A and B are shown apart, each in its own frame.
Chain A
């Protein structure tokens, strides 16, 4: 006897065809639920990867800084009754000690793909009467662009800064009224100043970055910030941004420097992201449950409607297992058909979303990947959910007493 045979499929599909309206409605229900789940998953992962990409646009995954300066009390803590107040000391702008050596060491660390030295400190951009506080970043163009994709973000002019060049953001450019080719003065609190030519304007899609950051050559920054030969940070790019904290820990263990990963500096963002994942997952789970309950309830009704047929089938030699499979197949088929419909719906939603969710300049607000794997997982998942939802009704059908069923 053929165990996994057509008989159950034939009966299951005829039952479904006979209750066509019921079948179509539940498939539509599963489709809508499935579509929402797929759509939400796609939007969530799209949002996540976009925010990650945007954050890492202007921020290196790992930043190595000199250790914080601490004030140590001179008196040894021998007598408990003695009160000591230790004033935390202010942090000077300092260079990483022997940064070239650290650079070599970090470059050898597994997972690190690029690193670059920077000099970063506060300053003022002055043009005419306008005066803006900025963060000066002195870069080594040869290596910096491997870590931060500045060239991609330059919307006007060039990005390769020379000793007398400066690249500024769109906001600052507007505030100062300085375009490409214009000159501006960059001054620091110590009194050092330089007149530089704007050679490029960037747009990182982040107002504060566009307003505050300026890029100049490493050596110019060293002179302005009085750090000749020194660098204030090493910015490190890693292969997997989400492994940044692990690599940072390795680096922390190997040096006495302060190593910040973007995961740690953006802890709030990650908390928000985690909260979003939790709520999103909850919604998806509940939609899934609703879908499963919908399938189950339709099948329960179907078992009652078909109990006489089940009795007849049993009387003519159909086994309990065969009856069980007839209803499991119906559950699976509804799940499968619903998920195919759901995939189509989600696809449509996503296309509409792409067309509607745009920035004022016409670029997409964020890119949602339509990953085939998501649809495949949804299809398999919905089929399994359908089969599971059918278990209780199917068992009920299989347990029907043929005598009672026929007389019903």
Chain B
């Protein structure tokens, strides 16, 4: 079966050729199947964010290979990499990072607009449907800065799904939210995962959140120290 994501001996070294050369990832091998809902945990400085950037094609590994939907990313030119990223990977950042210049709906449309160039009704409709799915229809024409943190994060989730990516990467998606908002955001992620079989990889510090994922990958000092299915999760549906 084709993996949504496969990592083969992925290494990352910072400051190559300088006296402060440091390898932060020492050969990561793992894979995510379609529809998996995995947590990536580990202490600060363990290399979680670095790994997420490599998987998200925002950065290139120093060694090893990253495959997204069977496509090896290392061989791609910059422009093709950008295209693959736009098409296959959705991001949800800790600080929601919406574009403050645009409304909620426009933020969700943005990835499609960037790919297609000109806005059309279909684009608008699908963005509206995504906002509806995260329960934000009443706020869709509000500026990104005029809605609450939890709502902003839900807009970011809707945006990450705009291109119907195979893989969504979430970096501490609930890190900045109170418990109630965090739960509702997590529920949205879980719901999308179950209904559209989108693969999720969620970086988190929150053990409570990790326990609600199907699989928990633990990273310590740039190595995977444990990778286990989570028996405590009873899948719904």
Given A316-B91, A320-B82: A2 and B116 interface contact (C-beta under 8 Å): yes
- CB pairs A–B below 8 angstroms (15 shown): A1-B117, A2-B118, A5-B116, A6-B118, A6-B119, A14-B102, A15-B101, A314-B58, A316-B90, A317-B85, A317-B115, A319-B83, A319-B114, A401-B59, A403-B58
Q: Report if B182 contacts A (CB, 8 A).
A: no
Given A309-B99, A403-B53: A317 and B83 interface contact (C-beta under 8 Å): yes
State the interface size on chain A (CB cutoff 8 A): 30
Q: Which residue of B lies closest to A13 (CB)?
A: B101
A142-183 interface bits toward B, Cβ cutoff 8 Å, 1 = contact, 0 = none: 000000000000000000000000000000000000000000
- Contacts A5-B118, A309-B99, A314-B82 given; 11 further ones with Cβ under 8 A? A2-B117, A6-B118, A7-B113, A17-B101, A312-B98, A316-B90, A317-B111, A318-B86, A318-B114, A406-B58, A406-B97
Q: Report if A3 contacts B (CB, 8 A).
A: yes
**Please, how many angstroms separate the alpha-carbon atoms of A314 and B93 in the complex?**
14
A407 to B: closest C-beta gap in Å: 9
Whether A316 and B110, one on each chain, are in contact in the complex, defined by CB atoms closer than 8 angstroms, is yes
Using a Cβ cutoff of 8 Å, how many contacts connect chains A and B? 85
**Please, how many angstroms separate the alpha-carbon atoms of A260 and B209 in the complex?**
98
Given A316-B86, A317-B83, A403-B53: A14 and B101 interface contact (C-beta under 8 Å): yes
Q: Report if A129 contacts B (CB, 8 A).
A: no
Those of B20-74 within 8 Å (CB) of chain A: 53, 56, 58-59
Give every chain A residue within 8 A of B111 (Cβ-Cβ). Answer: 316-317
- Tell me which of A14, A15, A319 has the highest count of chain B C-beta atoms within 10 A of its own C-beta: A319
Give every chain B residue within 8 A of A309 (Cβ-Cβ). Answer: 99-101
Of the candidates B85, B101, B163, the one whose C-beta lies within 8 Å of that of A18 is B101
- Interface residues of chain A, those whose CB is within 8 Å of chain B, are 1-3, 5-7, 10-11, 14-15, 17-18, 308-309, 311-322, 401-403, 406
Q: Which residue of B lies closest to A322 (CB)?
A: B114
Q: Which residue of A lies closest to B52 (CB)?
A: A403
Give every chain B residue within 8 A of A403 (Cβ-Cβ). Answer: 53, 58-59
Whether B101 and A7, one on each chain, are in contact in the complex, defined by CB atoms closer than 8 angstroms, is no
Q: Which residue of A lies closest to B96 (CB)?
A: A312
Whether B117 and A315, one on each chain, are in contact in the complex, defined by CB atoms closer than 8 angstroms, is no
Q: Report if B87 contacts A (CB, 8 A).
A: yes
Given A2-B116, A7-B114: A319 and B53 interface contact (C-beta under 8 Å): no
Give every chain A residue within 8 A of B79 (Cβ-Cβ). Answer: 319-321
Q: Which residue of A lies closest to B83 (CB)?
A: A317
Given A2-B116, A6-B119, A7-B114: A317 and B86 interface contact (C-beta under 8 Å): yes
- Tell me which of A2, A311, A315, A319 has the highest count of chain B C-beta atoms within 10 A of its own C-beta: A315
Give every chain B residue within 8 A of A320 (Cβ-Cβ). Answer: 78-79, 82
Give every chain A residue within 8 A of B100 (Cβ-Cβ). Answer: 18, 309
Give every chain A residue within 8 A of B102 (Cβ-Cβ). Answer: 14
Q: Report if B159 contacts A (CB, 8 A).
A: yes
Whether A318 and B101, one on each chain, are in contact in the complex, defined by CB atoms closer than 8 angstroms, is no
Given A14-B101, A18-B101, A312-B97: A317 and B87 interface contact (C-beta under 8 Å): yes
**Please, how many angstroms separate the alpha-carbon atoms of A136 and B84 in the complex?**
91
**Please, how many angstroms separate the alpha-carbon atoms of A316 and B91 in the complex?**
7
